[in-house]
Structure 1
C-alpha cells in the first residue's frame, strides 16, 4: 500500500496527470457499458462492485497462496511497527497459471494494459488486525516517489477481491464519503484513485476496520500509468 497519511499535502506536484485522466476515461467508458458492473451511488469517487467475481474454489486456492507467502505488512512511509497496518501480506507467484488467469480476467474487465499491473498482493487479517485510513496513490513529495516513478509512475485503479466472509468486523470504509462495505466472499471492488482530470482523489481514502471475529482474506491488484517494474 502507499501512503498511510490521512491528510497529505495537497500542494505536492502532480505527476502523470494526463495519463491518469486518459486511463480514467477509458476504464470509465468500459465499465459503463458492462451490465455486470454495480456502480456505488456516490459522485465523489468512482467505485464499482462485481459480486461473485471469484468462485468458492478460486477463493480457497488464493487463501492457500496467501498463507504461504504472508509476512507482517508494511507501508511506504511509516515504520512497520507503529500499528497503522497490523495485517499479514505477501505477493503471490505471478508465474503461476492460476494467478495469470485471474489477472487476465481483471485486466480484461478494466481494459487496462496488463503490463501496467503490479503483482497481486494477498492480505490476511485475524481478530484485532486492521489498516488505518490511507490512500493507494503516491504522495509525490515522499522519499519513495522517485523509485516508484521509475517503476511505473502513479497508481491509477485499484482492484480488490474478498476471499472470505467475516463473522464480525473487517469492513472496508471509505471514510470521507460514508461508505462501509462488509467482506463478501468472491466480491471484487474496483476504484479510480484519481479524479476525472487526473489529479489524486482525496475521497478515495479508505481503511480496513478491525476484524472482530473470523479471518479476513483479500487480494489486491494496483495499476500504474505505464509499464510496471
Structure 2
C-alpha cells in the first residue's frame, strides 16, 4: 500500500505517529517504567501507580456505575464482552485528579482523552480478543472520526488482586499479565508510522474465582467530544 493510500484509509496517521513518538520518548526516559520485551508492539507498565486507598475508592465508584458493558458493533447478548462497566464522572474532583495523573504520565493533552471507564468482571465474565483501535470499515467510524478520530494509546489500571483467572492477555505478543493492584498498564494501539497495529489484539480472560476491577482510559488522535 502506498503512503498516499494509507493516509486515505487512516486520516489521523501522521498525527498518531507524532503522538507515539512523543509518548515513547517520555516513557523510555523514566526509569520507573518497564517496557515489555517485544518488538511487535509498544507496551509498558508501572507498579504502584495507585495506592491501596485509591484503588478501594475507585472500586466503590465502579460498583456505583456498573451496567452491562457496551460495544460499538456487538450487543451484550453476543457474549463477546460480558463485564459490567460505566464511565466515572469528571465532575468528581477525585476522578479529575486520577485522570490528570495518567495524562501527565503519558504527556497527552487531557482534551484528547475519553472519560475514564470502570469495569468489573465476576466469575465467568470476560472480554474476548479485540483491538482498541477503531476499524475504519465499520459503520460506527463515520461518527467517531468526527469525535476525536482514531484511538492512539490505552491506559489500564488494575484495582485489586483476583483469586484466579482474569489475566490481560496479548496472544500475538505471548504476554499474559495477571491483575496487580495499583499497577498501570499502557500501550500504543498504533505502529510507529501511525497505522493500526493488529498485534495489539488482547483479551480480558475469564475470571474463575473472585472479582476483577480495572479502569481504562483511551486517548484519541484529536480532541475528544
* TM-score normalized by the length of structure 2: 0.96
Please give the alpha-carbon distance, in whole angstroms, between the structure 2 residues aligned to 1:13 and 1:225: 15
- Offset at residue 15 of structure 1 (A): 2.6
More helix by share: 2
The residue number in structure 2 matching 1:122 is 118
1:78 aligns with 2:74: yes
Please give the alpha-carbon distance, in whole angstroms, between the structure 1 residues aligned to 2:151 and 2:27: 19
Detail structure 1 runs of 4+ shifted over 6 Å in the superposition. none
The residue number in structure 2 matching 1:53 is 49
Superposed CA deviations along residues 177-208 of structure 1, whole A, max 9, x for unmatched, are: 11000001100001000000000000100000
Task: Return 5+ residue gaps in structure 2 as ranges.
Answer: 1-5
Please give the alpha-carbon distance, in whole angstroms, between the structure 2 residues aligned to 1:161 and 1:78: 24
- Offset at residue 94 of structure 1 (A): 1.0
Please give the alpha-carbon distance, in whole angstroms, between the structure 2 residues aligned to 1:70 and 1:15: 34
Please give the alpha-carbon distance, in whole angstroms, between the structure 2 residues aligned to 1:174 and 1:181: 8
Identify the match of residue 144 of structure 1 among 129, 134, 140: 140
1:131 aligns with 2:102: no
Identify the match of residue 172 of structure 1 among 142, 146, 168: 168
Q: Equivalent residue of 2:224, what SS? A: coil
- Offset at residue 79 of structure 1 (A): 2.2
Quote the RMSD (CA, aligned, Å). Answer: 1.1
1:206 aligns with 2:202: yes
Task: Return 5+ residue gaps in structure 1 as ranges.
Answer: 1-9
Identify the match of residue 183 of structure 2 among 175, 180, 187: 187
Please give the alpha-carbon distance, in whole angstroms, between the structure 2 residues aligned to 1:215 and 1:21: 37
The residue number in structure 2 matching 1:157 is 153
Greater Cα offset, 12-21 or 200-209: 12-21
Please give the alpha-carbon distance, in whole angstroms, between the structure 2 residues aligned to 1:13 and 1:132: 26
* TM-score normalized by the length of structure 1: 0.94
Please give the alpha-carbon distance, in whole angstroms, between the structure 2 residues aligned to 1:73 and 1:104: 25
Identify the match of residue 113 of structure 1 among 106, 109, 112: 109
The residue number in structure 1 matching 2:84 is 88
Superposed CA deviations along residues 58-96 of structure 1, whole A, max 9, x for unmatched, are: 000000000000000111111220101110000011111
Question: How many residue pairs get matched?
Answer: 219
Please give the alpha-carbon distance, in whole angstroms, between the structure 2 residues aligned to 1:208 and 1:25: 27
